[in-house]
Chains A and B, each alone.
Chain A
Amino acid sequence: KQEVTQIPAALSVPEGENLVLNCSFTDSAIYNLQWFRQDPGKGLTSLLLIQSSQREQTSGRLNASLDKSSGRSTLYIAASQPGDSATYLCALGGSEKLVFGKGTKLTVNP
């Protein structure tokens, strides 16, 4: 059974800092990996999707990497801003469904 762990559970950084969020998983037989953002009381917004055959994806200040052999993914956020404050969730995709981590709550202080 796939298990997904996100460490740390919460992170507080000053504005402008570069930061890395971590996601680890137990089963490397995955279809894809998605990173989501969730604001309080809202739905999930898809940030990046890495297909199983890919190593990384970039969108603006965000870069996500995937290393299936070590069971790890990272989300790199460059030059963080207060508007980046949210909970970030990673999810491992099988052929039919996603398995989610519990998320990392990020606070970027002005």
Chain B
Amino acid sequence: DGGITQSPKYLFRKEGQNVTLSCEQNLNHDAMYWYRQDPGQGLRLIYYSQIVNDFQKGDIAEGYSVSREKKESFPLTVTSAQKNPTAFYLCASSIFNSRNEQFFGPGTRLTVL
């Protein structure tokens, strides 16, 4: 059963804490992405990775960090430096071919208390 999984579905964080969101895919996709979605706004790219051990900043990388030690995993850490972390976080993956189609996970809703 191939797909993208994100955990947890809901996450609550106290101010000043770092939290890590999990994203795993078993599609053998090369690239993985993290997006943030806020009400009334489109998805904004945080980080992306096209190969293992390499990643690039997206449009809103400040206050976030990532790693890509395995092809199937791309965890996102929301650090205490992120001023307004409450949002819906979506992970996606794609394979390098002529289509370059992105597929999305179910998302993690992070709330800062």
Q: Does A49 lie within 8 Å of B99, measured CB to CB? A: yes
Q: For residue B90, which residues in chain A have a CB less than 8 angstroms away from its CB? A: 43-44
Taking a contact as CB atoms closer than 8 A, the residue among B40, B48, B106 that contacts A43 in the complex is B106
Total contacts A-B at CB 8 Å: 59
Q: Does A32 lie within 8 Å of B42, measured CB to CB? A: no
Taking a contact as CB atoms closer than 8 A, the residue among A36, A41, A98 that contacts B109 in the complex is A41
Q: How many residues of B contact A (CB 8 A)?
A: 27
Q: Judge if A42 is at the interface, Cβ distance under 8 Å.
A: yes
Q: Does A42 lie within 8 Å of B42, measured CB to CB? A: no
- B46: min CB distance to chain A, Å: 11
Q: Does A43 lie within 8 Å of B105, measured CB to CB? A: yes
Q: Which of A42, A45, A101 has the most CB of B within 10 A?
A: A42
Q: Does B43 lie within 8 Å of A100, measured CB to CB? A: yes
Q: Cα distance A51–B50 when bound, in Å?
A: 20
Q: Cα distance A51–B100 when bound, in Å?
A: 9
Main DSSP-derived SS at the A contact region: strand
Taking a contact as CB atoms closer than 8 A, the residue among B42, B104, B105 that contacts A4 in the complex is B42
Are A46 and B103 CB-contacts (below 8 A) given A51-B98, A97-B33?
yes
Q: Does B102 lie within 8 Å of A34, measured CB to CB? A: yes
Q: Does A46 lie within 8 Å of B102, measured CB to CB? A: yes
13 other A-B residue contacts (CB within 8 Å) besides A32-B101, A44-B90: A36-B104, A41-B109, A44-B43, A44-B92, A46-B101, A46-B103, A51-B99, A91-B102, A93-B102, A97-B58, A100-B35, A102-B41, A103-B42
Please give the residue numbers on chain B whose beta carbons come within 8 Å of chain A beta carbons, in ascending order. Answer: 6, 33, 35, 40-45, 48, 50, 56, 58, 88, 90, 92, 98-107, 109
